[in-house]
Amino acid sequence: MSSRKLNFFAGPSVLPLEVLDELQAQIKDYNGNGSSMIETSHRGPMFAEMYKQCQNSLREILGISDEYDIYFLGGGATLQFSMIPMNFLKPGTVADYIKSGTWANKAGKDAELFGDVNYYYDGTDSKFSSLPDSKTVKPSKNSSYLYLCSNETIGGIEWQDFPDTGDVPLIADMSSDFISRPVDVNKFDMIYGGIQKNLGPAGATLIIMKKSMLERQNSPLASYLDYKNHASNDGLFNTPPVFSIWGVKLVLDWIKKNGGAQGMADRANLKSGMVYDVLDSSDFWKSPVDRNYRSKMNVVFRLPNVDLEKKFLVEASTAGMLGLKGHRSVGGLRASIYNACPVEDVKTLTEFMKEFERKNG
Ligand SMILES: *Cc1c(COP(=O)(O)O)cnc(C)c1O
């Protein structure tokens, strides 16, 4: 075994070891073709085949119908914060945003540059520790779309089910819980996310968009910023993030081998349950989020004081556990336990936590 440390980083984050091994083994010569995936044209047959396999795996794992286009863009999830309103926020209408935390808030801020934004829900007063009941969420009458972030990576809250928005398109940022559970894609008109949390090496944003959305677009738009150009070219309007897509393809193979979306959900329930059990076991630990919306990907927690939190981080690091610091904007501690994080690593973490409490509680 190598001396790799335990990885609890929020993103970029842990990838399956066998995916890294496969990338390493194939980097110079892909499947005996005599050339590398990252050195050849994205218009050639080698990329085309791998890309098709990647798209097909996504369709298979999430049950995505032909009514949806699937492709990858650059610019991170962050570029979508502006592309979405640019394309879909119609003059004379509003866009409904669920203000649930750092990421949804950033998306809303960018949307404000392009038109009227209605914050259907605002979690500011509760320090973004909760979410609205999905059954009560109704978009405005003149809404262009309703936007939500399925998992707030920094705040540690996650939608457990999703609102029904009727004829109003539902758009979701799933960057940090992509394929961590089965999702009824048909409920959404657009799902997107940076792949670097749960699906592969940083550099691509996965777009899953209902074809009918293209009829709702504003125009004209600069070419790269116009979804129509990407959709009509099957995501190959310009050079796609080839290496990242290859990584995603391999991660999807790994997901399929490990029970698909339901397998990921079972693992996520088990792993997050192990950490939340420790948090619930005594007053030493504080979980600052509403129990109903606890994230299964990013478990945020606090200790009685900041000095103990610092000590926790130092000792965890010495014990080989990295990435447990809360986001710089909120402080505290956070264990990101994405799909590829092994159950044994979470076990090691929880044993460490219990020992830390024995010594310092
Ligand atoms: C990390 C993250 C982003 C930002 O992703 P970039 O690819 O860095 O732009 C957006 N939304 C969520 C939910 C995230 O976790």
Ligand 1 binding pocket includes 326 (Cβ within 6 Å):
no
Looking at the structure, tell me whether residues 56 and 173 fall in a common domain.
Answer: yes
Ligand 1 binding pocket includes 140 (Cβ within 6 Å):
no
Residue 75, φ and ψ in degrees, nearest 5: 85, 0
Contact 185, 62 (CB under 8 A): yes
2 within domain boundaries = no
Domain of residue 333, CATH code: 3.90.1150.10
Looking at the structure, tell me whether residues 117 and 247 fall in a common domain.
Answer: yes
Bond prior to 201 in cis (omega within 30° of 0): no
Per-residue pLDDT of the chain (361 residues; tens, 9 = 90+): 558 999 999 999 999 999 999 999 999 999 999 999 999 999 999 999 999 999 999 999 999 999 999 999 999 999 999 999 999 999 999 999 999 999 999 999 999 999 999 999 999 999 999 999 999 999 999 999 999 999 999 999 999 999 999 999 999 999 999 999 999 999 999 999 999 999 999 999 999 999 999 999 999 999 999 999 999 999 999 999 999 999 999 999 999 999 999 999 999 999 999 999 999 999 999 999 999 999 999 999 999 999 999 999 999 999 999 999 999 999 999 999 999 999 999 999 999 999 999 999 8
Looking at the structure, tell me whether residues 240 and 265 fall in a common domain.
Answer: no
Contact 334, 235 (CB under 8 A): no
Contact 239, 15 (CB under 8 A): no
Looking at the structure, tell me whether residues 276 and 217 fall in a common domain.
Answer: no
246 within domain boundaries = yes
**C-alpha–C-alpha distance, residues 315 and 4, integer Å:** 17
Contact 189, 160 (CB under 8 A): no
Looking at the structure, tell me whether residues 122 and 200 fall in a common domain.
Answer: yes
**Nearest CA residue ID for atom 5, ligand 1:** 77
* Helix, strand, coil percent content, the chain, rounded in steps of 5: 40, 15, 40
Looking at the structure, tell me whether residues 113 and 170 fall in a common domain.
Answer: yes
40 within domain boundaries = yes
Burial of 111 (0-12, 13-18, 19+ CB in 10 A): buried
Looking at the structure, tell me whether residues 209 and 168 fall in a common domain.
Answer: yes
**C-alpha–C-alpha distance, residues 23 and 123, integer Å:** 42
Range of the domain at 192: 18-257
**Nearest CA residue ID for atom 13, ligand 1:** 175
55 within domain boundaries = yes
Ligand 1 binding pocket includes 178 (Cβ within 6 Å):
no
Residue 34 CA to ligand 1 centre (angstroms): 36
Residue 257 CA to ligand 1 centre (angstroms): 27
Looking at the structure, tell me whether residues 244 and 352 fall in a common domain.
Answer: no
Ligand 1 binding pocket includes 129 (Cβ within 6 Å):
no
Measured CA distances, 307 to 154, 221, 313, 314, 320 (Å): 21, 51, 10, 11, 20
Catalytic annotation present for 197? yes
Give the neighbor-by-neighbor strand order of the sheet with 143-149: 68-73, 205-210, 190-194, 170-173, 143-149, 94-99, 116-122
The number of folded domains in the chain is 2
Ligand 1 binding pocket includes 115 (Cβ within 6 Å):
no
**Nearest CA residue ID for atom 14, ligand 1:** 175
**Residue finishing a domain among 224, 257, 290:** 257
Domain of residue 36, CATH code: 3.40.640.10
State the catalytic residue, choosing from 69, 173, 226, 345.
Answer: 173
Looking at the structure, tell me whether residues 253 and 266 fall in a common domain.
Answer: no
314 within domain boundaries = yes
Residue 219 CA to ligand 1 centre (angstroms): 26
Minimal CA–CA distance to 250: which of 176, 199, 192? 199
Residue 76, both tokens: 């991170």
Encoded amino acid at 114, one letter: F
Looking at the structure, tell me whether residues 219 and 321 fall in a common domain.
Answer: no
Catalytic annotation present for 103? yes
**Secondary structure, 3-state, 111-139:** HHCCCEEEEEEECCCCCCCCCCCHHHCCC
Ligand 1 binding pocket includes 298 (Cβ within 6 Å):
no
Number of H helices, E strands in the chain: 9, 13
**Residue finishing a domain among 237, 257, 277:** 257
**Residue finishing a domain among 257, 273, 308:** 257
Orientation angle between helical segments 242-257 and 45-62, nearest 10 degrees: 40
**C-alpha–C-alpha distance, residues 358 and 318, integer Å:** 18
> In this structure, are strands 321-322 and 333-336 parallel, antiparallel, or unpaired?
unpaired
Looking at the structure, tell me whether residues 290 and 251 fall in a common domain.
Answer: no
Ligand 1 binding pocket includes 77 (Cβ within 6 Å):
yes
Residue 190 CA to ligand 1 centre (angstroms): 16
13 within domain boundaries = no
Looking at the structure, tell me whether residues 130 and 200 fall in a common domain.
Answer: yes
Catalytic annotation present for 167? no
